[in-house]
Amino acid sequence: MTAFTLIVPGALDQITGGYLFDRHLVDGLRETGRIVEVIELPGEFPAADRMACTAAATALAGLPAGSAVVIDGLALPAFADCLETHRRRLSVVAFVHHPLSLETGLTAETAETYARLEHTLWPLMRGLLCPSAHTAAAVIAAGVSADRVRITPPGTRFPRPIVTTIVTTIVTTIVTTIVTTIGRPEPQASRPLQLLTVGTITQRKGHLQLIEALSRLQALDWQLSCVGSLTRDRASASAVRKALITHGLQHRVTLAGEVSMEQRDAAYCAADVFVLASHHEGYGMVCAEALAHHLPIVATSAGAIPDTVGTDAAILVTPGDVAGLTEALREVITQRPLRERLAAGAAQAAKSLSDWPSAVRRWAQALDELVA
Protein backbone atom coordinates (compact mmCIF):
# COMPACT_ATOMS: atom_id res chain seq x y z
CA MET A 1 0.00 0.00 0.00
CA THR A 2 1.36 3.39 -1.02
CA ALA A 3 1.76 5.90 1.80
CA PHE A 4 1.09 9.39 0.50
CA THR A 5 0.63 13.03 1.41
CA LEU A 6 -2.61 14.79 0.44
CA ILE A 7 -2.28 18.53 -0.06
CA VAL A 8 -5.53 20.49 0.17
CA PRO A 9 -6.33 24.21 0.00
CA GLY A 10 -7.43 25.38 3.44
CA ALA A 11 -9.00 23.22 6.12
CA LEU A 12 -9.99 19.66 5.27
CA ASP A 13 -13.20 19.81 7.32
CA GLN A 14 -15.06 22.10 4.91
CA ILE A 15 -18.48 20.85 3.81
CA THR A 16 -18.42 20.85 0.03
CA GLY A 17 -18.41 17.91 -2.34
CA GLY A 18 -14.67 18.04 -3.02
CA TYR A 19 -13.65 18.32 0.61
CA LEU A 20 -16.10 15.62 1.67
CA PHE A 21 -14.57 13.34 -0.96
CA ASP A 22 -11.08 14.15 0.34
CA ARG A 23 -12.08 13.52 3.94
CA HIS A 24 -13.75 10.19 3.15
CA LEU A 25 -10.53 9.11 1.46
CA VAL A 26 -8.33 10.13 4.38
CA ASP A 27 -10.56 8.52 7.00
CA GLY A 28 -11.27 5.40 4.96
CA LEU A 29 -7.64 4.73 4.04
CA ARG A 30 -6.37 5.35 7.55
CA GLU A 31 -8.89 2.80 8.80
CA THR A 32 -7.27 0.22 6.50
CA GLY A 33 -3.86 0.97 7.95
CA ARG A 34 -2.53 3.10 5.11
CA ILE A 35 -0.38 6.06 6.12
CA VAL A 36 -1.96 9.30 4.88
CA GLU A 37 -0.52 12.66 5.84
CA VAL A 38 -2.52 15.82 5.18
CA ILE A 39 -1.10 19.27 4.50
CA GLU A 40 -3.64 22.11 4.69
CA LEU A 41 -2.34 25.09 2.75
CA PRO A 42 -3.06 28.60 4.02
CA GLY A 43 -3.88 31.43 1.66
CA GLU A 44 -6.43 32.23 -1.03
CA PHE A 45 -7.69 29.66 -3.54
CA PRO A 46 -8.06 29.03 -6.38
CA ALA A 47 -6.60 32.46 -7.18
CA ALA A 48 -3.45 31.57 -5.28
CA ASP A 49 -1.90 34.50 -3.41
CA ARG A 50 1.69 34.78 -2.23
CA MET A 51 0.95 32.97 1.02
CA ALA A 52 -0.54 30.03 -0.85
CA CYS A 53 2.36 29.82 -3.31
CA THR A 54 4.95 30.00 -0.53
CA ALA A 55 3.15 27.30 1.46
CA ALA A 56 2.92 25.06 -1.63
CA ALA A 57 6.64 25.35 -2.35
CA THR A 58 7.49 24.71 1.30
CA ALA A 59 5.23 21.64 1.37
CA LEU A 60 6.92 19.99 -1.63
CA ALA A 61 10.43 20.93 -0.50
CA GLY A 62 9.80 19.31 2.88
CA LEU A 63 8.90 15.88 1.47
CA PRO A 64 11.57 13.18 1.13
CA ALA A 65 12.60 12.08 -2.36
CA GLY A 66 10.38 9.33 -3.71
CA SER A 67 7.33 10.42 -1.71
CA ALA A 68 3.89 10.05 -3.25
CA VAL A 69 1.94 13.31 -3.25
CA VAL A 70 -1.69 13.95 -4.18
CA ILE A 71 -2.60 17.58 -4.85
CA ASP A 72 -6.27 18.54 -4.72
CA GLY A 73 -7.06 20.28 -8.00
CA LEU A 74 -8.41 23.38 -6.28
CA ALA A 75 -4.92 24.01 -4.88
CA LEU A 76 -3.11 23.49 -8.18
CA PRO A 77 -2.55 27.20 -9.08
CA ALA A 78 -0.36 27.56 -5.99
CA PHE A 79 2.11 25.07 -7.51
CA ALA A 80 2.63 26.92 -10.78
CA ASP A 81 6.18 28.02 -9.86
CA CYS A 82 7.38 25.01 -7.86
CA LEU A 83 5.98 21.85 -9.45
CA GLU A 84 8.63 21.61 -12.17
CA THR A 85 11.37 21.75 -9.54
CA HIS A 86 10.06 18.79 -7.55
CA ARG A 87 8.15 16.60 -10.02
CA ARG A 88 11.09 14.31 -10.83
CA ARG A 89 12.06 13.55 -7.24
CA LEU A 90 8.45 13.09 -6.09
CA SER A 91 5.57 11.03 -7.45
CA VAL A 92 3.00 13.80 -7.87
CA VAL A 93 -0.62 13.01 -8.74
CA ALA A 94 -3.44 15.52 -9.14
CA PHE A 95 -6.96 14.86 -7.90
CA VAL A 96 -9.06 16.94 -10.30
CA HIS A 97 -12.67 17.30 -9.14
CA HIS A 98 -13.45 19.53 -12.14
CA PRO A 99 -11.44 21.95 -14.27
CA LEU A 100 -11.04 25.34 -12.57
CA SER A 101 -11.46 27.04 -15.93
CA LEU A 102 -15.10 25.84 -16.04
CA GLU A 103 -16.11 27.63 -12.85
CA THR A 104 -19.15 29.87 -13.39
CA GLY A 105 -18.78 33.65 -13.09
CA LEU A 106 -15.17 33.92 -14.23
CA THR A 107 -14.15 36.61 -16.65
CA ALA A 108 -13.00 35.33 -20.01
CA GLU A 109 -9.45 36.38 -19.11
CA THR A 110 -9.48 34.52 -15.77
CA ALA A 111 -10.97 31.39 -17.33
CA GLU A 112 -8.27 31.44 -20.00
CA THR A 113 -5.58 31.90 -17.32
CA TYR A 114 -6.82 28.85 -15.42
CA ALA A 115 -7.08 26.83 -18.63
CA ARG A 116 -3.49 27.65 -19.62
CA LEU A 117 -2.29 26.88 -16.11
CA GLU A 118 -4.03 23.50 -15.99
CA HIS A 119 -2.92 22.58 -19.50
CA THR A 120 0.67 23.34 -18.42
CA LEU A 121 0.63 21.60 -15.03
CA TRP A 122 -1.50 18.51 -15.72
CA PRO A 123 1.02 16.93 -18.15
CA LEU A 124 3.75 17.33 -15.49
CA MET A 125 1.94 14.95 -13.16
CA ARG A 126 2.68 11.27 -12.73
CA GLY A 127 -1.07 10.86 -13.21
CA LEU A 128 -4.48 12.34 -12.59
CA LEU A 129 -7.50 11.04 -10.70
CA CYS A 130 -10.93 12.22 -11.90
CA PRO A 131 -14.38 11.58 -10.41
CA SER A 132 -16.13 11.10 -13.75
CA ALA A 133 -15.60 10.27 -17.39
CA HIS A 134 -16.63 13.83 -18.21
CA THR A 135 -13.79 15.33 -16.15
CA ALA A 136 -11.34 12.72 -17.44
CA ALA A 137 -12.22 13.69 -21.02
CA ALA A 138 -11.40 17.32 -20.26
CA VAL A 139 -8.02 16.30 -18.84
CA ILE A 140 -7.20 14.10 -21.82
CA ALA A 141 -8.27 16.85 -24.21
CA ALA A 142 -5.68 19.07 -22.53
CA GLY A 143 -2.92 16.75 -23.69
CA VAL A 144 -2.58 14.21 -20.88
CA SER A 145 -2.10 10.65 -22.07
CA ALA A 146 -5.16 8.52 -21.34
CA ASP A 147 -3.02 5.84 -19.68
CA ARG A 148 -2.11 8.36 -16.97
CA VAL A 149 -5.74 9.15 -16.13
CA ARG A 150 -7.97 7.14 -13.82
CA ILE A 151 -11.72 7.59 -13.27
CA THR A 152 -12.51 7.23 -9.55
CA PRO A 153 -16.12 8.17 -8.71
CA PRO A 154 -16.97 9.06 -5.13
CA GLY A 155 -19.03 6.86 -2.86
CA THR A 156 -22.57 7.66 -1.86
CA ARG A 157 -23.96 8.32 1.57
CA PHE A 158 -27.00 6.06 1.78
CA PRO A 159 -29.93 6.73 4.15
CA ARG A 160 -29.37 5.48 7.63
CA PRO A 161 -32.27 3.33 8.82
CA ILE A 162 -32.39 5.20 12.10
CA VAL A 163 -32.84 8.53 10.33
CA THR A 164 -35.60 7.14 8.13
CA THR A 165 -37.30 5.64 11.16
CA ILE A 166 -37.17 8.88 13.12
CA VAL A 167 -38.57 10.94 10.23
CA THR A 168 -41.31 8.38 9.57
CA THR A 169 -42.23 8.31 13.24
CA ILE A 170 -42.46 12.10 13.44
CA VAL A 171 -44.58 12.34 10.29
CA THR A 172 -46.84 9.51 11.44
CA THR A 173 -47.32 11.17 14.83
CA ILE A 174 -48.24 14.49 13.26
CA VAL A 175 -50.70 12.91 10.82
CA THR A 176 -52.27 10.82 13.57
CA THR A 177 -52.71 13.91 15.74
CA ILE A 178 -54.36 15.83 12.92
CA VAL A 179 -56.72 12.98 12.08
CA THR A 180 -57.63 12.50 15.74
CA THR A 181 -58.33 16.17 16.42
CA ILE A 182 -59.86 17.49 13.22
CA GLY A 183 -60.45 14.46 11.03
CA ARG A 184 -58.52 13.41 7.93
CA PRO A 185 -57.57 16.52 5.91
CA GLU A 186 -58.87 17.11 2.42
CA PRO A 187 -56.25 16.84 -0.36
CA GLN A 188 -56.04 20.61 -0.70
CA ALA A 189 -55.10 20.89 2.97
CA SER A 190 -52.02 18.65 2.63
CA ARG A 191 -48.57 20.07 3.17
CA PRO A 192 -46.81 21.90 0.33
CA LEU A 193 -44.57 19.82 -1.91
CA GLN A 194 -41.09 19.92 -0.41
CA LEU A 195 -38.30 20.84 -2.82
CA LEU A 196 -34.65 20.46 -1.80
CA THR A 197 -31.42 21.73 -3.29
CA VAL A 198 -28.01 21.05 -1.75
CA GLY A 199 -24.85 22.98 -2.56
CA THR A 200 -22.80 25.98 -1.54
CA ILE A 201 -24.48 29.16 -2.73
CA THR A 202 -22.23 30.21 -5.59
CA GLN A 203 -22.92 31.31 -9.14
CA ARG A 204 -22.07 27.83 -10.43
CA LYS A 205 -24.87 26.17 -8.46
CA GLY A 206 -27.55 28.23 -10.23
CA HIS A 207 -29.60 29.34 -7.22
CA LEU A 208 -30.62 32.59 -8.91
CA GLN A 209 -31.99 30.71 -11.91
CA LEU A 210 -33.86 28.35 -9.60
CA ILE A 211 -35.45 31.23 -7.72
CA GLU A 212 -36.39 32.93 -10.99
CA ALA A 213 -38.05 29.72 -12.18
CA LEU A 214 -39.97 29.25 -8.92
CA SER A 215 -41.10 32.88 -8.97
CA ARG A 216 -43.17 31.94 -12.04
CA LEU A 217 -44.85 29.09 -10.13
CA GLN A 218 -46.18 30.94 -7.12
CA ALA A 219 -49.72 29.72 -7.78
CA LEU A 220 -48.55 26.18 -7.02
CA ASP A 221 -48.12 24.73 -3.54
CA TRP A 222 -44.43 24.19 -2.83
CA GLN A 223 -41.64 25.06 -0.44
CA LEU A 224 -37.91 25.04 -1.10
CA SER A 225 -35.07 24.31 1.30
CA CYS A 226 -31.56 25.35 0.26
CA VAL A 227 -28.84 23.50 2.17
CA GLY A 228 -25.32 24.83 1.69
CA SER A 229 -22.87 27.45 2.88
CA LEU A 230 -23.94 31.08 2.85
CA THR A 231 -20.46 32.37 3.69
CA ARG A 232 -18.03 30.90 1.13
CA ASP A 233 -19.37 33.27 -1.55
CA ARG A 234 -21.03 36.13 0.30
CA ALA A 235 -21.78 38.09 -2.86
CA SER A 236 -23.79 35.19 -4.31
CA ALA A 237 -25.60 34.64 -1.00
CA SER A 238 -26.51 38.34 -0.87
CA ALA A 239 -27.80 38.20 -4.44
CA VAL A 240 -29.97 35.20 -3.58
CA ARG A 241 -31.44 36.95 -0.53
CA LYS A 242 -32.25 40.02 -2.65
CA ALA A 243 -33.88 37.85 -5.31
CA LEU A 244 -36.11 36.21 -2.69
CA ILE A 245 -37.28 39.61 -1.48
CA THR A 246 -37.76 40.90 -5.02
CA HIS A 247 -40.00 37.94 -5.90
CA GLY A 248 -41.72 37.78 -2.51
CA LEU A 249 -40.46 34.26 -1.87
CA GLN A 250 -38.66 34.78 1.44
CA HIS A 251 -41.41 32.91 3.29
CA ARG A 252 -41.42 29.95 0.89
CA VAL A 253 -37.67 29.46 0.54
CA THR A 254 -35.47 28.53 3.49
CA LEU A 255 -31.75 29.25 3.33
CA ALA A 256 -30.57 26.65 5.81
CA GLY A 257 -26.84 27.27 5.42
CA GLU A 258 -24.29 24.59 6.24
CA VAL A 259 -25.72 21.79 8.35
CA SER A 260 -24.41 18.61 9.93
CA MET A 261 -24.45 15.39 7.93
CA GLU A 262 -27.27 14.10 10.14
CA GLN A 263 -29.35 17.21 9.36
CA ARG A 264 -28.51 16.80 5.70
CA ASP A 265 -29.76 13.21 5.80
CA ALA A 266 -32.96 14.41 7.45
CA ALA A 267 -33.42 17.06 4.74
CA TYR A 268 -33.26 14.39 2.03
CA CYS A 269 -35.74 12.22 3.96
CA ALA A 270 -38.18 15.12 4.29
CA ALA A 271 -37.98 16.14 0.62
CA ASP A 272 -40.36 15.19 -2.18
CA VAL A 273 -38.22 16.41 -5.09
CA PHE A 274 -34.52 17.19 -5.45
CA VAL A 275 -33.46 20.14 -7.63
CA LEU A 276 -30.02 21.14 -8.89
CA ALA A 277 -29.66 24.07 -11.28
CA SER A 278 -25.86 23.90 -11.60
CA HIS A 279 -23.94 25.30 -14.54
CA HIS A 280 -21.26 22.60 -14.16
CA GLU A 281 -20.61 19.52 -12.04
CA GLY A 282 -17.53 17.32 -12.14
CA TYR A 283 -19.64 14.45 -10.77
CA GLY A 284 -22.65 15.63 -8.78
CA MET A 285 -22.40 13.92 -5.38
CA VAL A 286 -25.63 15.51 -4.18
CA CYS A 287 -27.48 14.01 -7.15
CA ALA A 288 -26.17 10.59 -6.15
CA GLU A 289 -27.36 11.21 -2.60
CA ALA A 290 -30.79 12.13 -3.98
CA LEU A 291 -30.84 8.86 -5.92
CA ALA A 292 -29.92 6.98 -2.75
CA HIS A 293 -32.98 8.55 -1.10
CA HIS A 294 -35.13 7.57 -4.13
CA LEU A 295 -36.03 11.18 -4.90
CA PRO A 296 -37.28 12.38 -8.28
CA ILE A 297 -34.79 14.87 -9.66
CA VAL A 298 -35.00 18.06 -11.69
CA ALA A 299 -31.51 19.13 -12.75
CA THR A 300 -29.48 20.58 -15.57
CA SER A 301 -27.53 18.61 -18.12
CA ALA A 302 -24.32 20.30 -16.99
CA GLY A 303 -21.04 18.42 -16.86
CA ALA A 304 -21.28 14.92 -15.46
CA ILE A 305 -24.85 15.21 -14.13
CA PRO A 306 -26.46 13.14 -16.95
CA ASP A 307 -23.98 10.32 -16.33
CA THR A 308 -24.59 10.44 -12.60
CA VAL A 309 -28.40 10.44 -12.60
CA GLY A 310 -29.11 8.42 -15.75
CA THR A 311 -32.20 8.81 -17.91
CA ASP A 312 -35.05 7.47 -15.78
CA ALA A 313 -34.71 9.37 -12.51
CA ALA A 314 -34.57 12.97 -13.66
CA ILE A 315 -35.87 15.70 -15.91
CA LEU A 316 -32.80 17.46 -17.30
CA VAL A 317 -32.77 20.94 -18.75
CA THR A 318 -30.10 23.08 -20.37
CA PRO A 319 -28.00 25.03 -17.83
CA GLY A 320 -29.24 28.60 -17.51
CA ASP A 321 -32.53 27.86 -19.29
CA VAL A 322 -34.97 29.41 -16.82
CA ALA A 323 -38.00 28.74 -19.03
CA GLY A 324 -37.07 25.08 -19.35
CA LEU A 325 -36.43 24.79 -15.62
CA THR A 326 -39.77 26.44 -14.91
CA GLU A 327 -41.64 23.97 -17.07
CA ALA A 328 -39.80 20.97 -15.62
CA LEU A 329 -40.63 22.12 -12.09
CA ARG A 330 -44.25 22.75 -13.07
CA GLU A 331 -44.56 19.20 -14.37
CA VAL A 332 -42.97 17.53 -11.38
CA ILE A 333 -44.90 19.65 -8.86
CA THR A 334 -48.31 19.10 -10.46
CA GLN A 335 -48.02 15.50 -11.70
CA ARG A 336 -47.84 12.90 -9.00
CA PRO A 337 -47.57 9.97 -11.46
CA LEU A 338 -44.49 11.64 -12.95
CA ARG A 339 -42.92 12.00 -9.50
CA GLU A 340 -43.65 8.36 -8.77
CA ARG A 341 -42.12 7.25 -12.07
CA LEU A 342 -38.98 9.30 -11.50
CA ALA A 343 -38.73 8.06 -7.91
CA ALA A 344 -38.87 4.49 -9.17
CA GLY A 345 -36.11 5.34 -11.64
CA ALA A 346 -34.05 6.82 -8.81
CA ALA A 347 -34.49 3.67 -6.73
CA GLN A 348 -33.27 1.57 -9.65
CA ALA A 349 -30.32 3.88 -10.38
CA ALA A 350 -29.32 3.81 -6.71
CA LYS A 351 -28.57 0.11 -7.00
CA SER A 352 -25.53 0.87 -9.16
CA LEU A 353 -24.05 3.42 -6.75
CA SER A 354 -21.04 2.44 -4.66
CA ASP A 355 -20.78 2.96 -0.94
CA TRP A 356 -17.80 4.85 0.41
CA PRO A 357 -15.65 1.87 1.44
CA SER A 358 -15.84 0.49 -2.12
CA ALA A 359 -15.10 3.89 -3.65
CA VAL A 360 -12.12 4.41 -1.36
CA ARG A 361 -10.66 1.02 -2.31
CA ARG A 362 -10.96 1.79 -6.03
CA TRP A 363 -9.41 5.23 -5.57
CA ALA A 364 -6.48 3.73 -3.64
CA GLN A 365 -5.93 1.07 -6.31
CA ALA A 366 -5.87 3.75 -9.00
CA LEU A 367 -3.36 5.81 -7.02
CA ASP A 368 -1.12 2.78 -6.57
CA GLU A 369 -1.20 2.12 -10.31
CA LEU A 370 -0.23 5.71 -11.14
CA VAL A 371 2.68 5.97 -8.73
CA ALA A 372 4.03 2.46 -9.39
Note the pLDDT tens digit of each residue in 72-91.
999 999 999 999 999 999 99
Is it the case that residue 175 has pLDDT exceeding 70?
Answer: no
Q: Is 155 exposed, middle or buried (0-12, 13-18, 19+ CB in 10 A)?
A: buried
Mean pLDDT computed over every residue of the chain? 91
**Residue 286 host element (H or E):** helix 285-292
Q: Which of 344, 305, 256, 297 is nearest to 135 (CA)?
A: 305
The predicted pLDDT at position 174 comes to 39
Q: pLDDT-based confidence at 161, cuts 50/70/90?
A: low
Q: pLDDT-based confidence at 187, cuts 50/70/90?
A: very low
Q: pLDDT-based confidence at 1, cuts 50/70/90?
A: low
Q: What are phi and psi of 71, to 5 degrees?
A: -105, 120
Note the pLDDT tens digit of each residue in 39-60.
999 999 999 999 999 999 999 9
Is it the case that residue 167 has pLDDT exceeding 60?
Answer: no
The predicted pLDDT at position 165 comes to 42
DSSP state of 173: H
Prediction pTM value: 0.87
Domains 4-155+355-371 and 161-350 are alike in CATH topology: yes
The predicted pLDDT at position 15 comes to 86
Is it the case that residue 162 has pLDDT exceeding 80?
Answer: no
Q: What are phi and psi of 344, to 5 degrees?
A: -65, -40
The predicted pLDDT at position 2 comes to 76
CATH of 161-350, one of 3.40.50.2300, 3.30.1330.90, 3.40.50.2000, 1.10.510.10: 3.40.50.2000
Better pLDDT: 182 or 319: 319
Mean pLDDT of 202-220: 97
CA distance 206 to 278: 5
What angle (nearest 5°) sits at the alpha carbon of residue 220, between those of residues 287 and 297?
10
Q: Could you tell me which CATH number the domain at 4-155+355-371 has?
A: 3.40.50.2000
Note the pLDDT tens digit of each residue in 302-350.
999 999 998 899 999 999 999 999 999 999 999 999 999 999 999 999 9
**What's the Cα-to-Cα distance from 193 to each of 54, 189, 238, 364, rounded to whole Å?**
51, 12, 26, 41
**What's the Cα-to-Cα distance from 171 to each of 165, 193, 252, rounded to whole Å?**
10, 14, 20
CA distance 318 to 83: 38
> By percentage, how much of the chain surpasses pLDDT 70?
92
The predicted pLDDT at position 122 comes to 96
- What are the domain boundaries of the chain? 4-155+355-371, 161-350
